[in-house]
Amino acid sequence: MSFGVLDGDGQVAQIDGHPFGQISFTGARYARADVRLLSPILPSKVVGVGKNYAEHVQEMNTGDAPTQPLLFLKPSTSVIGPGDAIRIPHGSTNVHHEVELAVVIGARGARNVTPEQAPGSVFGYTIGNDVTERDMQKSDGQWTRAKGFDSFCPLGPWIETDLAALGKDPADLEISCAVDGEPRQSGRTSQLLFGIPTLISYISQIMTLLPGDVVLTGTPSGVGPIRPGQRVECTIEALGALSNVVTEADAVSTAGGPR
């Protein structure tokens, strides 16, 4: 298991160590088809932003849009990669997909940065799916349980570190989600109520964002239930597609026998 750089000819060049700072290549190269992609980063924390698209606020029917970013946390144990299974908790029938632009924080991190300084704290961008158990979200009054289950944060398929070289702006990317090929969500990051620099600055006044931490920027309207046997595909312009199957969660304990 290691990091690599996907170059223009479809080959993955293995790097030595982590991708922050000066990248050193090992010299090994692999065909993309021969590599299993994991989550492109395992963050110390994932910071989610709720109600950040106006039409999503309307479809949720839970009050007005916030006047400042509405934050929540997802644990690192919720993170899975492309092709991994989103596991539905036993007895749950109302788990929803939420496609989101995911911002990966870079080597310098972010603490008390201004919106103008915030882009300097960004390592790159990937796709996130803020999977949510909607009944628990409504009943609990806070969102930790509803959004914190193992497998409830698919990330991938890779981190794009230079959107400008592709002629793209993270502030205006097409974003969509389909379930078994049926279109569900569609929007653009230009519709965010709070943009990326504002979000990073705001969060960094509250908690230090460490290298590799992920900020999920919010989801457009069209969220809906998923069930075992389905496949969820989240797509963002210039970033590719993040595809995950849906299964039932197992109930295997790690406790073992008595000691």
Per the structure, how many domains does the chain have?
A: 2
pLDDT digits 0-9 by tens, 44-56: 999 999 999 999 9
Q: What pLDDT is attached to residue 170?
A: 98
How remote is the C-alpha of 122 from its chain's centroid?
14
Query: Per-residue pLDDT averaged across 225-233, rounded?
Result: 98
| Averaged pLDDT score across all residues of the chain | 95
Q: Is residue 255 part of a domain?
A: no
Mark whether 9 and 55 lie in a shared domain. no
How remote is the C-alpha of 54 from its chain's centroid?
20
Mark whether 62 and 180 lie in a shared domain. yes
Rounded Cα–Cα distance for residues 6 and 3 (Å): 10
Give which of 226, 148, 151, 215 is closest to 184, Cα–Cα.
Answer: 226
User: Which helix H or strand E contains 198, and what residues bound it?
Assistant: helix 196-204
Q: Is the pLDDT of residue 257 over 70?
A: no
Query: Per-residue pLDDT averaged across 40-66, rounded?
Result: 93
Q: What pLDDT is attached to residue 17?
A: 87
**The domain that contains 103 carries what CATH number?**
3.90.850.10
The SS3 of residue 79 is strand
Band (pLDDT 50/70/90 cuts) for residue 25 is very high
Rounded Cα–Cα distance for residues 64 and 42 (Å): 33
Q: What pLDDT is attached to residue 71?
A: 98
Q: Is residue 67 part of a domain?
A: yes
Q: Is the pLDDT of residue 110 over 80?
A: yes
Mark whether 22 and 125 lie in a shared domain. no
Band (pLDDT 50/70/90 cuts) for residue 63 is confident
Mark whether 16 and 132 lie in a shared domain. no
pLDDT digits 0-9 by tens, 194-226: 999 999 999 999 999 999 999 999 999 999 999
Q: What pLDDT is attached to residue 259?
A: 62
Only one residue has tokens 């969660």, namely 249
Q: Is the pLDDT of residue 12 over 80?
A: yes
Q: Is residue 235 part of a domain?
A: yes
Mark whether 18 and 52 lie in a shared domain. no
> What is the DSSP pairing of strand 174-179 with strand 231-236?
antiparallel
- Six token digits for residue 92: 């749950």
Mark whether 200 and 219 lie in a shared domain. yes
Q: What is the pTM of this model?
A: 0.95
Mark whether 195 and 214 lie in a shared domain. yes
pLDDT digits 0-9 by tens, 121-145: 999 999 999 999 999 999 998 999 9
pLDDT digits 0-9 by tens, 87-104: 999 999 999 999 999 999
User: CB–CB of 120/211 below 8 Å?
Assistant: no
Mark whether 178 and 208 lie in a shared domain. yes
Rounded Cα–Cα distance for residues 66 and 192 (Å): 12
Q: What pLDDT is attached to residue 258?
A: 65
Range of the domain at 244: 37-248
Q: Is residue 165 part of a domain?
A: yes
Work out the number of other CB atoms within 10 angstroms of the CB of residue 223. Answer: 20
